[in-house]
């Protein structure tokens, strides 16, 4: 396009029409507008306005946005969350909705607001033993650094994405891509990430991770040594030695305590790597996306020649990974060299058993954000009192109705499993920052005590009928009902 | 960032709401429960790719139709082109003039391809595609101003009528208009045909150069409007009865010509409380009540 538009024209990227929107105007959809040079979402009130002027009762939106999964959504019971509530940030004034309702005879207040989180990020737990990248390595989306590789925990690799340094501390493009990546991950969409000196992964909340084009199916049952311990009995007598290949600890049956106890004969096997305790080896290979999270594709490369003093021709050897996904069976020839053979029937079951005991590999996405002072000021005139009330468990924090874990210590830093939140609960502002719903629920008496904006408390029914900027979603059965009086509240 | 398409049932549990970018459809089918479900599923499946399909050749769809027709690939795009091509000689028109009706028709077709239905409609912001099986009918209300919904007329469309599409255009609507009609509602064989006709008739309802009319180049409001720098109507001050009649007359002349050529079935032109109905037959299916005529 050769046209030159005024500098305050924005291009909307909410849909492929990609409207150019002039200041004060809305795009073709009437849902996005240019307000003071910023792209802002304005909710479509037209249908509701019409319903009002025709005198029919306004029914709150039963809105479930999302890519179509083949089901047509149907509203269940009414449930107010902060999603779409808007925010009063950065003004020091009451939150958009402060709603009272009576629950089991107790007056409860829910302060409902959408928080703008430029101090936020996501923690990814990726169930895989494959090497995703070195610790501290950059995680990139569209080439921009959006986070880093952090610790490896049991059977999983953790990534830490976002945070203020990527959102606003880097280049404009870094911030934009970080925001987009976090938004997609929080809304359970698939994101492709590359890790410096590591793998290319595709991840989505609640879905198996895809590492270098390969979908992870299973988490390992344990390390190689643990696997030997679990399955030694099933192998005894059916095979002379077993090597369980694992990036962390590779186990060898004949040397392992479990083998010794059963009376497994020494086989003269010799393994590359650093021996820890008998039958347990560290660093048999480099980390990678091959067998058991190592870089090997041919397991024989971790074997040194068998010791002739102990080994014998026709010795039977099983090599298997910690997930049972890879396995190989060998017998030694006359010169004590392993020769590949088909896996005997008697051993198939044990390999399948390993696989069966490996749980489905998933990617889990935790959104983590800190409720800043101005957000808390929307709840109470004295923000620190809200923090105290949350710490004392007088106030419950939920995100779109999902339970949030509040990290002990200063401030209100919380974590929430995004799959427990309604679909597409997150939004963004071009700052860039994420917009996440947050609700604070507490007893009405307690609310008054902590300096809440009691004058702004309105009954639930009134809010439901009057306010158009509302959506209705169905509550997920695994979540506790956010309005249920808190366990600790009787102690106050 | 791309927002996903919205597919949901409205709170009444009967109507389907499909939304994607600027496309917003209300769909209702009647028939057996299983057939309605199948129809809604087919509608949703077709719907989710429509916006991308249109946007892939958006620049061609926004270009004026001339003697050298553009090479459009999408089925909806071709439908749009066919609907507007009729009006292209001596007039500025782009395929976008028929986008709403064409989308409505396409979604309705996908439903009927999936399952038989007693009746069904796809309403794309007032541009509506209809299906009526034998003996069925729809009662349609007409609204003068979208911001002030009050019916100024109604019409019944029966299975025997040659009408399966209706559309409304006017300067108060979401799209720009070159004319001053508050609303022109057209009944035609197809929704795309009705959409294109309503656009051109509404453009024709005009008082060129009249000082009561505020016009602004389309691009000053919407930089990528298909109307480019053509002046579009932004406000119309109260007109005298004579001026209203004269403006309606120019639109009615075009509507009559389209009726007589069987391009459309009927048109209702509404301007500042006055309505003129044009049909090609005497048995008018359009009923504009006197009471609502007085409403201004």
CB contacts, 8 Å: A68 with chain B:
5, 7, 44-45, 48
Q: How long a stretch of residues is chain B?
A: 296
Domain boundaries defined on chain A: 120-215, 224-356
Mean pLDDT, 10 residues at a time, over chain A (492 residues)?
Answer: 64 84 82 76 35 29 36 38 55 59 67 79 92 95 96 91 92 92 93 96 94 85 88 93 93 94 94 90 87 90 95 96 92 95 92 86 94 77 86 87 88 92 79 84 86 79 56 61 54 30
Interface of B with A in 195-254 (CB under 8 A): 219-224
Q: For position A149, what pLDDT does the model report? A: 97
3-state secondary structure chain A: CCCCCCCCCEECCCCCCCCEECCCCECCCCCEEEECCEEEECCCCHHHHHHHHCCCCCCCECCCECCCCCCCECCCCCCCCCCCCCCCCCCCCCCCEEEEEEECCEEEEEEEEEEEECCEEEEEEEECCCCCCCCCCEEEECCEEEEEEEEEECCEEEEEEECHHHHCCCCHHHHHHHHHHHHHHHCCCCEEEEECCCCEEEECCCCCCEECCEECCECCCCCHHHHHHHHHHHHECCECEEEEECCCCEEECCCCHHHHHHCCCCCCCEECCEECCCCEEECCCCECCCHHHECCCCHHHHEECCCCCCCCCCCEEEEEECCCCCEEEEEECCCCCEEEECCCHHHHHHHHHHHHCCCECCEEEEEEEEECHHHHHCCECCHHHHHHHHHCCCCEEEECCEECEEECCCCEEEEEEHHHCCCCCCEEECCCEEEEEEEEEEEHHHHHHCCECHHHCEEHHHHHHHCCCCECCCCCCCCCCCCCCCHHHHHC
Q: Which residue of B has its CA nearest to A70?
A: B41
Q: Which residue of A has its CA nearest to B223?
A: A20
| B1 at A interface, C-beta within 8 A | yes
Tell me which of B10, B12, B18, B21 to substitute to probe the interface with A (most A C-beta atoms closer than 10 Å). B21
Q: How long a stretch of residues is chain A?
A: 492
Taking only the tens place, the pLDDT of each residue in B211-226 is 999 999 998 888 888 8
Q: For position A155, what pLDDT does the model report? A: 80
Write the residue in B11, B52, B223 that is nearest to A20 by C-beta.
Answer: B223
Contact assignment for A64 to B13 by CB distance below 8 Å:
no
Tokens 């802002």 identify what position? A40
| B55 at A interface, C-beta within 8 A | yes
**Closest Cα in chain B, distance from residue A23 (Å):** 9
| B48 at A interface, C-beta within 8 A | yes
| B71 at A interface, C-beta within 8 A | no
| A28 at B interface, C-beta within 8 A | yes
Q: For position A54, what pLDDT does the model report? A: 31
Contact assignment for B44 to A72 by CB distance below 8 Å:
yes
* Interatomic CA distance for residues B263 and A195, integer angstroms: 61
* Element containing residue B140 per DSSP (H, E): strand B137-145
Q: For position B144, what pLDDT does the model report? A: 61
Residue A177 has φ and ψ, to the nearest 5°, of: -65, -40
| B58 at A interface, C-beta within 8 A | yes
Q: For position A62, what pLDDT does the model report? A: 30
CB A112 within 8 A of CB A81: yes
pLDDT confidence bin for B148, thresholds 50/70/90: low
Burial of B134 (0-12, 13-18, 19+ CB in 10 A): exposed
Q: For position A85, what pLDDT does the model report? A: 56
CB contacts, 8 Å: A180 with chain B:
1
Residue B33 has pLDDT above 80, yes or no: yes
* Interatomic CA distance for residues A287 and A293, integer angstroms: 6
| B14 at A interface, C-beta within 8 A | no
Contact assignment for B21 to A22 by CB distance below 8 Å:
no
CB contacts, 8 Å: B10 with chain A:
62
| B33 at A interface, C-beta within 8 A | no
Write the residue in A5, A25, A424 that is nearest to B4 by C-beta.
Answer: A424
Q: Which residue of A has its CA nearest to B44?
A: A68
| B11 at A interface, C-beta within 8 A | yes
When mean pLDDT is compared across A35-39, B68-72, B119-123, the lowest value belongs to A35-39
Q: Which residue of A has its CA nearest to B42?
A: A70
| A190 at B interface, C-beta within 8 A | no
Choose between B139 and A60: higher pLDDT.
Answer: B139
Q: Give strand pairing partners of A399.
A: A402
ipTM of the complex: 0.82
Contact assignment for B222 to A22 by CB distance below 8 Å:
yes
Contact assignment for B11 to A59 by CB distance below 8 Å:
yes
| A468 at B interface, C-beta within 8 A | no
| B13 at A interface, C-beta within 8 A | yes
When mean pLDDT is compared across A91-105, B25-39, B94-108, B118-132, the lowest value belongs to A91-105
Burial of A269 (0-12, 13-18, 19+ CB in 10 A): buried
* Interatomic CA distance for residues A206 and A208, integer angstroms: 7
* Interatomic CA distance for residues A164 and A120, integer angstroms: 7
Write the residue in B1, B9, B20 that is nearest to A72 by C-beta.
Answer: B9
| B2 at A interface, C-beta within 8 A | yes
Q: How many CB pairs under 8 A join A and B?
A: 102
Q: CB-based contacts of A455: which residues, under 8 Å, 6+ apart?
A: none
Quick one: average pLDDT of B94-122? 96
Q: CB-based contacts of A240: which residues, under 8 Å, 6+ apart?
A: A254, A264, A265, A267, A315, A316, A317
Write the residue in A62, A183, A184 that is nearest to B8 by C-beta.
Answer: A62
**Closest Cα in chain A, distance from residue B283 (Å):** 31
Write the residue in A53, A73, A180 that is nearest to B8 by C-beta.
Answer: A73
Which parts of chain B fold into alpha helices (H)?
A: 33-47, 50-55, 58-61, 75-85, 99-114, 191-204, 218-221, 241-260, 290-294
Neighbours of A216 (CB within 10 A): 23
- Count Cα neighbours of A128 within 13 Å in the Cβ-side half-sphere: 34
Q: Which residue of B has its CA nearest to A428?
A: B1
* Interatomic CA distance for residues B270 and A434, integer angstroms: 47
Structure letter (DSSP) for residue B282: S
Contact assignment for A15 to B7 by CB distance below 8 Å:
no
Q: Give strand pairing partners of A442.
A: A109
| A25 at B interface, C-beta within 8 A | yes
Contact assignment for B223 to A3 by CB distance below 8 Å:
yes
CA nearest to A449, candidates A406, A388, A398: A388
Burial of A485 (0-12, 13-18, 19+ CB in 10 A): middle
CB contacts, 8 Å: A34 with chain B:
none
CB A285 within 8 A of CB A295: yes
Burial of A483 (0-12, 13-18, 19+ CB in 10 A): buried
Q: Name the pairing type of β-strands A270-271 and A303-304.
A: antiparallel
* Interatomic CA distance for residues B210 and A389, integer angstroms: 67
* Interatomic CA distance for residues A86 and A33, integer angstroms: 15
Contact assignment for A1 to B224 by CB distance below 8 Å:
yes
CB contacts, 8 Å: A40 with chain B:
none
Burial A182-193, CB ≥16 within 10 A → b, else e: bbbbbbbbebeb
Contact assignment for A20 to B224 by CB distance below 8 Å:
yes
* Interatomic CA distance for residues B220 and B232, integer angstroms: 10
* Element containing residue B121 per DSSP (H, E): strand B119-124
* Interatomic CA distance for residues A177 and A167, integer angstroms: 8
**Closest Cα in chain A, distance from residue B234 (Å):** 13
Q: For position A221, what pLDDT does the model report? A: 78
Tell me which of A6, A11, A17, A83 to substitute to probe the interface with B (most B C-beta atoms closer than 10 Å). A17
Task: Give the three-state DSSP class for B279.
Answer: strand
Q: For position A464, what pLDDT does the model report? A: 61
Q: Which residue of A has its CA nearest to B39?
A: A72
């Amino acid at each position: 396009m050769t046209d030159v538009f005024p500098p305050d024209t924005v291009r909307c990227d909410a849909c492929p029409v990609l409207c150019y929107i002039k200041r004060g105007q809305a795009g073709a959809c009437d849902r996005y507008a240019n307000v003071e040079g910023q792209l802002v979402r304005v909710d479509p009130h037209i249908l509701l306005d019409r319903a009002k002027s025709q005198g029919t009762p306004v029914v709150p939106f039963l809105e479930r946005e999302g890519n179509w999964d083949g089901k047509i959504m149907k509203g269940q019971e009414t449930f107010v969350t902060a999603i779409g509530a808007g925010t009063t940030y950065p003004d020091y004034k009451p939150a958009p909705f402060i709603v009272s309702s009576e629950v089991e005879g107790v007056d409860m207040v829910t302060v409902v607001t959408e928080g703008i989180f430029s101090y936020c990020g996501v923690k990814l737990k990726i169930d895989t033993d494959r090497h995703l990248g070195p610790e501290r390595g950059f995680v990139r989306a569209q080439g921009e650094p959006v986070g880093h590789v952090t610790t490896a925990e049991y059977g999983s690799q953790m990534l830490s994405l976002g945070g203020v340094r990527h959102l606003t501390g880097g280049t404009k493009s870094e911030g934009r891509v970080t925001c987009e990546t976090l938004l997609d991950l929080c809304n359970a969409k698939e994101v492709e990430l590359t890790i410096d000196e590591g793998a290319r992964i595709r991840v989505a909340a609640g879905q198996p991770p895809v590492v270098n084009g390969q979908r992870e199916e299973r988490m390992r049952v344990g390390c190689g040594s643990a696997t030997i311990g679990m399955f030694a009995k099933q192998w005894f007598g059916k095979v002379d030695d077993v090597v369980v290949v694992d990036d962390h600890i590779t186990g060898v049956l004949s040397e392992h305590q479990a083998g010794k106890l059963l009376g497994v004969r020494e086989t003269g096997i010799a393994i590359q790597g650093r021996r820890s305790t008998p039958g347990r080896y560290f660093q048999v290979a480099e980390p990678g996306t091959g067998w058991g999270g190592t870089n090997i594709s041919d397991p024989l490369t971790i074997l040194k020649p068998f010791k002739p003093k102990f080994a014998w021709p026709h010795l039977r050897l099983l090599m298997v990974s910690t997930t049972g996904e890879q396995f190989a069976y060998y017998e030694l020839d006359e010169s004590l060299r392993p020769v590949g053979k088909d896996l005997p029937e008697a051993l198939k079951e044990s390999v399948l058993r390993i696989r069966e005991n490996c749980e489905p590999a998933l990617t889990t996405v935790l959104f983590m954000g800190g409720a800043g002072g101005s957000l808390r000021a929307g709840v109470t005139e004295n923000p620190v009192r809200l923090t105290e009330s949350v710490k004392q468990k007088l106030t419950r924090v939920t995100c779109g109705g999902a339970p949030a874990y509040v990290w002990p210590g200063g401030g209100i830093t919380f974590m929430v499993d995004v799959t427990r939140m309604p679909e597409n609960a997150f939004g963004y502002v071009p700052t860039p920052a994420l917009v996440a719903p947050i609700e604070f629920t507490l007893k009405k008496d307690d609310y008054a005590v902590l300096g809440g904006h009691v004058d702004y408390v309105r009954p639930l029914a009134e809010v439901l009928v009057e306010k158009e900027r509302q959506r209705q979603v169905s509550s997920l059965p695994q979540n506790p009902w956010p309005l249920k009086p808190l366990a600790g509240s009787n102690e106050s | 960032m791309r927002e996903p398409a919205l597919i949901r049932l409205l709170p009444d549990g009967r109507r389907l709401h499909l939304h994607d970018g600027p496309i917003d459809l209300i769909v209702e089918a009647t028939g057996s429960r299983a057939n309605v479900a199948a129809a809604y599923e087919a509608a949703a499946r077709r719907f989710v790719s429509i916006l991308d399909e249109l946007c892939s050749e958006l620049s061609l769809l926004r270009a004026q139709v001339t003697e050298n027709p553009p090479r459009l690939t999408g089925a909806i795009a071709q439908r749009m082109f066919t609907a507007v091509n009729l009006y292209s000689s001596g007039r500025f028109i782009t395929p976008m003039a028929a986008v709403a009706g064409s989308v409505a028709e396409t979604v309705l077709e996908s439903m009927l391809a999936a399952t038989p239905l007693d009746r069904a409609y796809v309403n794309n912001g007032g541009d509506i595609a209809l299906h009526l099986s034998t003996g069925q009918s729809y009662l349609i209300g007409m609204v003068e101003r979208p911001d002030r919904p009050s019916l100024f007329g109604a019409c019944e469309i029966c299975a025997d009528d040659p009408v399966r599409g209706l559309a409304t255009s006017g300067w108060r609507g979401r799209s720009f208009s070159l004319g001053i009609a508050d609303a022109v509602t057209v009944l035609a064989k197809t929704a795309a045909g009705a959409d294109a006709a309503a656009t051109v008739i509404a453009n024709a309802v005009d008082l060129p150069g009249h000082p009561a009319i505020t016009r602004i180049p389309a691009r000053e409001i919407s930089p990528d409007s298909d109307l480019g720098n053509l002046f579009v109507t932004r406000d119309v001050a109260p007109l005298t009865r004579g001026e209203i009649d004269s403006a309606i007359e120019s639109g009615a002349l075009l509507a009559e010509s389209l009726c007589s050529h069987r391009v459309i079935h009927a048109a209702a032109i509404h301007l500042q409380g006055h309505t003129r109905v044009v049909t090609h037959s005497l048995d008018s299916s359009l009923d504009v009540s006197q009471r609502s005529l007085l409403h201004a």
